[in-house]
Structures are given as structure tokens and as C-alpha cells.
Homo-oligomer: A and B are copies of this chain.
């Protein structure tokens, strides 16, 4: 059964890149998170085990993981990127609370279908999409 480590190793080999302790550690710690992770959180947790990991290596590795499709990078409102596991995770979109920052994931097959129809209508080849609904979550309304 393939897992993220094997896929990442294969990707690196195909690109003539190398499997290193830093890359292994970063992937391990990344997978220990749920949902959307910020660089800052990754850095803090990784440095418990490997205090001298350079921030550039972290960014570079996240870039590689994104390139090989294991991770998706989001750029939400505040300028910071977040990273999300993509392997064996269904596509979904996001509700984002502008008050507390919480994100709720959802999917709606008909919306996806209509998106494709629209692209067809304009002769547009869809590669990916982003749908983000901003508002106030249930908790913040109380």
C-alpha cells in the first residue's frame, strides 16, 4: 500500500532530487497535523526534535510536496500561506470565519458540475479552482 513517504521518494528520484533526513522529518511532522497548517506551526514542532532546521529548507520542502501533489497551498486573507494534506483526501471547498479564522470543509457535487459547464461554455480548460465562502461561524454568532 502506497503512502506519502513512498510517493515523495519516488517523486524525488524521478526529478533527480535526494531523500534527506530534513525532508523526512518535515513530512512526518506535517502529517501529524490535521487540516490547514501554517509554516510557523510546522517550524515550532519540528524544532523540538531538530532545533537547527533552516526556515528556507522548510519552505523549499513544502514547495516540493506541493509540486508532487501531496500538499495543497492556500493563500487566504491574511497573507500567510497554509498547507493542507491532499493524498487520500477528497476535494472540498471552504467556509472561512472572518471572526475566529476557523475553516469548515464542504463539498457540493452540483456546484462542481456547474463549474465544469461554465468552463466548457467559454472554451476554458479547468486546472483547479478555489471557492471560499467568508462569513461568521456558528460559535462567533453567540
Contact = CB atoms under 8 A, between A and B. Distances in A.
B110 A95 contact: no
A115 interface: yes
How many monomers of this chain does the complex have?
2
Given A75-B75, A110-B110, A126 B134 contact: yes
Interface residues of A, number: 32
Interface in A107-142: 108, 110-111, 114-115, 118-119, 122-138, 141
Most chain B Cβ neighbours within 10 Å, of A77, A124, A125, A128: A124
Interface of A: 75, 77, 95, 97-98, 104, 106, 108, 110-111, 114-115, 118-119, 122-138, 141
